[in-house]
Amino acid sequence: MQKIVIKLGLLAVVLLTALPAVAQEQRPTLRDVNAIPQAQIDILNAGGENLMAADITANIFDTTFVGTELTFEAVILTDPRKSGLSNVTDGRVDRVHMFVRDTSAATLGPDGMGIQVVDGAYDTNDLLSFGVGDVIQVTAGITPFGTAMQVSPTSITLIGDVTSLGLPESILDPIVITTDEANSVVGTDGVQVNWNNLARLRNAYVRIEDATIQTRNLANPDRPDFYISTDGGTTVLNFYDTGLQFRNDRQGVYPSEFLGRVDDMGDDEDFVPPPPGSLVNMQGVLIFQGGADQIGRGVPANGLLSIAPFEGDLDLELLESPPVISDVTGPDFVPDGSEAVSITFLAQADPTRTLTANACEYVTSESTDIQTVDAMQSGDVLACDIPAQADGVFVTYTVVSTDNTGAQSLSDPGSYRTLVDGINSIEDVQLTVDEGPGDSPFVGISTDMDITAYVVSDPSTSGLTVVQEDTDLNGWTGVFLSTSETLAMGDMINITNATIEERFGVTQLADLTMSVVSSGNAVPDYKVVPTTALLDDGVAEAHEGMLLRFDNVVIGANPDDPSDFGEWSFASSGTEDFIRADDASAGIASDFNASLAPETELDFIRGVWWFSFGNYKLVPESIADLMGGGVANEDEILPNSFALDQNYPNPFNPTTTISYQVPANGLVKLEVFDLLGRSVGVLVNETVSAGQYTVDFNAANLSSGVYLYRLSAGEHVETRKMLLMK
């Protein structure tokens, strides 16, 4: 790696004043590192609304510096203990994100002088002992990640602080900007980075004054989103939660030395963005974190600059607000239609205003006419009683609060469903209000139910437990289970009580009260569909938690390029209708997608259908779920574990395929037995090399029934069941 030394400390600044002007100009600064060649800016500007993600990553960095190592001096702008964009494993945070400003900004100004330091060795570098205003010397590689400019340090040394080194306090001041300086209008209503200002503003600490909250998204309370604007919504700046005090999913997870948001009693407190219409001052670091836009105006989706505040209420100052609605609570039971359903909530006016009206507006699946119920108040709590509904009817409601200025706030919609007989099918759990994408109408409820279904996944291979109840394979009939119970494919179970959860958009049943009715049953088969069908979000949602199979497919490109999260894409042959596949199964290696070359044709790909990180996708449970030319064999990816997969198809008549893998060369025996333990066939009995294998079994001479097949390799023995049905 090429090394570049940047001498930027206070002493360097003093010495530079004695050098000729030409010598000073030859010394690189972080401004030089952030610079973008004008020819590349011209390409970005010319792209407009047709700009592709690949065009962005190809043109936002100066390759002169990318991949080099540099040494520089900088002042810390964000507290390392308030960094929240990382994972926690065994009580340790895997990295710390810290934003700094080149100390030469004291004489040259702050534009372009910011950088993000991402430190995986923060404990060795003693980073958590540093604070805002400390001055450090950093040796680091310039290692952009996707669209984010960042450096990866090899060493960090504390030099002093702003005061002790005689640097001006103004070096810590944010750059005051408006939202149109960060992002520009593109197309009809899209917003895109103001490319002319990107080099000047990325990783800069900025302040936006008198901004309005335009839109917020509370669908994921762990990571809420919102936009701010200084021009009435023409241009917007997206919020991003790099700061720990704005990450609700990190509360109680991070080690105690990190500083999350807490209430007056010192307890963890969730962050809730102010409601739309609020007037705020906001400051934080401008980041270009591709894909951060969760509300949808970025063009393309990764083309929007975001702001990451760090200092809690100091960085997000609420100046004035329409009514604040909170703690909206629907029924915590399954309504049976015998009485009205109460919706409770809290509403608070801005201190300079008063509330004049509170109500609930609702529609039903039988009528789109908006009905209004005035709220009654008891203490601080407001409640609307929505009339009882008929069996099967969905109700979608919104809380509305109005103040004396006419400003009005609306809560996010909630929904519930009336079921006279309670929950007695998976469809009751899964069916959404409009039969499209969305949460279960009973999310968050713990309730009695009566669901009988078959385990259709192989938990011992994939770690996923999925049940289906309908052998006709209709939609809405599969669901994921979150359970520590030891279950196997073919188990018939009866669930009598559960908590209905949405985990990152996937409906699941948790805290189960259940029993195994019988084992070794034939299970609902894979539903064969073309990828075209799953492009419809309603169809995709209906098949969540079901086994799907796609015949005659072609592998596509990495859908997350230039990042790589282990996923790949595929489409039915002859189409361009690509959908995603995920490596979430324990039976699929995290780098498995690297073995799948684009345009490879497969006979089929099958797995469990689910949703994560904003996309519907297929989760194959093992390598046996991909069959055909180009799938990794023993010469491409050697397995690191012993495994025997469930035969396919199962049940079968009269032939089926059995797949297995062995991690080392040795004698392997694969044998089939009846339920009395009598051998009915030896399929393999030979020395094989490490790798994955498939064997066909023909049971034409056997009678219908359950059979066992056993794989032996050294000390490893594994047995599975299969069902022959003639």
pLDDT of residue 640: 60
564 burial level (CB within 10 Å; 0-12, 13-18, 19+): middle
User: Above 50 in pLDDT, residue 10?
Assistant: no
Higher pLDDT, 128 or 11: 128
Give me the DSSP letters along 12-34. HHHHHTTS-HHHHHHS--HHHHH
CA 306 – CA 301 distance, rounded (Å): 12
User: Above 50 in pLDDT, residue 231?
Assistant: yes
How is residue 55 annotated by DSSP? H
What mean pLDDT is predicted for residues 162-166?
Answer: 96
SS (H, E, C) 579-601: EEECCCCCCCCCCHHHHCCCCCE
pLDDT of residue 18: 36
User: Above 80 in pLDDT, residue 336?
Assistant: yes
655, amino acid identity: T
Q: How do residues 484-524 score in pLDDT, each as one tens digit?
A: 888 999 999 999 999 999 887 899 999 999 999 999 888 88
Higher pLDDT, 647 or 411: 411
What mean pLDDT is predicted for residues 4-20?
Answer: 40
Angstrom CA distances, 604 to 554, 601, 647, 652, 715, stand at 9, 9, 15, 18, 33
Which residues are within 8 A (CB) of 559 and not within 5 positions of it... i.e. 6 or more apart? 567, 568, 569, 578, 580, 615
Q: How do residues 22-66 score in pLDDT, each as one tens digit?
A: 333 446 899 999 999 999 999 999 999 998 888 898 999 998 899
pLDDT of residue 725: 80
21 burial level (CB within 10 Å; 0-12, 13-18, 19+): exposed
Higher pLDDT, 413 or 2: 413
Q: pLDDT band at residue 469, thresholds of 50, 70 and 90?
A: very high
Mean pLDDT of the chain: 89
Return phi, psi of residue 82, to 5°: -110, 15
pLDDT of residue 522: 82
Say whether 49 sits in a helix, a strand or coil: helix
Angstrom CA distances, 389 to 338, 368, 595, stand at 8, 14, 54
What mean pLDDT is predicted for residues 125-134?
Answer: 95
User: Above 50 in pLDDT, residue 631?
Assistant: no
What mean pLDDT is predicted for residues 620-639?
Answer: 61
Q: How do residues 676-702 score in pLDDT, each as one tens digit?
A: 778 899 998 887 766 778 888 999 888
User: Above 80 in pLDDT, residue 383?
Assistant: yes
pLDDT of residue 137: 96
Structural tokens at position 100? 């700094």
In the chain, the percentage of residues whose pLDDT exceeds 70 is 93
pLDDT of residue 591: 83
Q: pLDDT band at residue 644, thresholds of 50, 70 and 90?
A: confident
How many residues are given for the chain? Answer: 726
Nearest to 641 by CA among 512, 463, 477, 483: 463
CA 687 – CA 402 distance, rounded (Å): 78
Domains of the chain: 3-34+65-172 (2.40.50.140), 191-320 (2.40.50.140), 330-417 (2.60.40.10), 434-632 (no CATH), 643-724 (2.60.40.1930)
pLDDT of residue 379: 87
Beta strands in 293-338 (DSSP E): 306-308, 316-320, 324-329
In the chain, the percentage of residues whose pLDDT exceeds 90 is 61
